[in-house]
Structure 1
Amino acid sequence: MPKVQADDMTLRVQEVLDKFGSPPLAETPLAKKACSPTPEGVLAMIIDAMLKSRPVQHGLSQRTVNHLIEVGYHDVNKLSDSTWEERTDVLRESGYNRYREQAATNLGALAEFVQEKYDGDLNNLLQQGRAERDEVGRLVKDIKGVGDLAEELFLNNVQSVWPSMTPFVDSRSLKTADEIGIGTDVEAIYDAVQRDPMKMSRLANGLSTVRLEYRQQGISI
């Protein structure tokens, strides 16, 4: 693709933000509380990434994330106190069936991991990773059920509250950005959002929406 002109790229970035950009956990009960790095919010972002990284229909995984938060599983103590059977029932209620048993196991392992390694707060992982994105990403993948894609989805969101992770766009969304004329220069994209970590997170999520809903052809200036 030819080099993207700065003005055109900025216009396309703004269009994605205006039409599709959404902050982390926007469709969940935590939507209004996800703008600060609370232990509950960061844990919810990991749960969100774990479920959405599986080959499951996006709407179903979103409903499941919502339900897990509704029952309080973003609280590491409540998640720790839950049984495998209880987690399985909650997932079943959401219709999350294909990977239900594996997800129930992974959620239990997540609670144990966060409690034992990070004193119940994943913000301590940021400190252990010296606030360096590559190191934080490596540590995040120590969590059972978090692979490369889940790591990227987590970084999309957590950069809004861990600014040292910015600028970041997951690899699939960066491909979408190239397809719709934004390009793949992440630093230039960051400039186009006024170097605002929350806007960068919203843009990454917006690009995911464009890809998931096959709207590439609808982005035109």
Structure 2
Amino acid sequence: MTTKTAGKSAQTHIVRALLDRQRHTYPAQAGIRLRNTPAPLYQTLVLAILLSARIRADTAVAAARALFDAGLRDPRAMADASWQQRVDALGEGGYRRYDERTSTMLGKGAELLLDRYGGDLRRLREEPDPRQALLDIPGIGPTGADIFLRDVQGVWPEFAPYLDDKALDGARRLGLPASPEELGDLVERRELPRLADGLVHAALDKPLADDVRAAVTSSA
């Protein structure tokens, strides 16, 4: 179900109410200090792989934290870890339904990144079509590529505003325009990743969307 698109002033209030509730991006929740450097970019990729499974976002975030706490913060460490070490870390984070398959994908993906890009995703950024290049990485399908790009748009600004179909579903639910350009005009560029994650949260969590709309109505 969609909501009638609100006027510009109301849109701004809706976005502020949403950002008040989505105080951190998913990478920040996983303890990633996202910068345009190899380790945090790789960690964001790992989180995108975990988030793209049919599993709760908080479980994916917890599993990413567990992997990083186990020292698996870069492609070399991930590739050098045993399959069982990766499974154990995923299980520690509660990611048990997909732990064995995901362990295999993380190992193969790390090896591909080391072989093709020297473990540095900034080299992937230089590809003619970075999104297509992402799809070569085991565990990254169209959904995972979207998750990664919407979170790195703050450090890879050539992709901004990156608001994928799931984020646009959240925008419609909140009565916001389903246009990346129009949504991008409602926030500062540095807030785009948090807005994107907030809109996805609203698409997946109807009570959150209802709370945002109620907060705007009560303050009108």
Q: TM-score, normalised by structure 2?
A: 0.89
How far apart are 1:2 and its partner, in Å? Answer: 4.9
- CA gap of 1:120–1:181, structure 2 versus 1, over 3 A, is same
Relative contact order: is structure 1 or structure 2 higher (C-alpha 8 Å, sep ≥ 6)?
1
Letter in 2 for 1:212: L
1:219 and 2:212 aligned: yes
| Partner SS for 1:192 | coil
Letter in 2 for 1:176: G
Contact 1:22 1:202 (C-alpha < 8 Å) held by counterparts: yes
- How far apart are the structure 2 equivalents of 1:21 and 1:3? 24
How far apart are 1:183 and its partner, in Å? Answer: 1.6
Q: Which moved more, 1:163-172 or 1:210-219?
A: 210-219
Deviation track 1:154-197 (CA, whole Å, cap 9, x = no partner) reads 11111111111100112112111111111212111111113x1x
- CA gap of 1:117–1:179, structure 2 versus 1, over 3 A, is same
- How far apart are the structure 2 equivalents of 1:199 and 1:7? 18
The residue aligned with 2:103 is 104
- How far apart are the structure 2 equivalents of 1:160 and 1:72? 25
| Partner SS for 1:155 | helix
- Tell me how large the CA RMSD over aligned residues is: 1.6
The residue aligned with 1:132 is none
| Structure 2 stretches lacking a partner, 5+ long | none
The residue aligned with 2:37 is 38
Letter in 2 for 1:192: L
- How far apart are the structure 1 equivalents of 2:20 and 2:174? 15
- How far apart are the structure 2 equivalents of 1:23 and 1:100? 24
The residue aligned with 1:141 is 135
| Structure 1 stretches lacking a partner, 5+ long | 130-134
Aligned residue pairs, count: 211
How far apart are 1:5 and its partner, in Å? Answer: 2.0
Contact 1:29 1:70 (C-alpha < 8 Å) held by counterparts: no
The residue aligned with 2:182 is 188
Which residues in structure 2 correspond to 1:68-147 (within 5 Å)? Answer: 68-129=67-128, 135-147=129-141
Match of 2:194 among 192, 199, 202: 202
- How far apart are the structure 2 equivalents of 1:184 and 1:88? 39
Q: TM-score, normalised by structure 1?
A: 0.89
Match of 1:20 among 19, 22, 25: 22
How far apart are 1:16 and its partner, in Å? Answer: 1.2
Contact 1:20 1:207 (C-alpha < 8 Å) held by counterparts: no
How far apart are 1:21 and its partner, in Å? Answer: 4.0
Letter in 2 for 1:14: R
- How far apart are the structure 1 equivalents of 2:52 and 2:60? 9
- The percent of aligned pairs where both chains have the same amino acid is 28
Q: Which moved more, 1:73-82 or 1:42-51?
A: 73-82
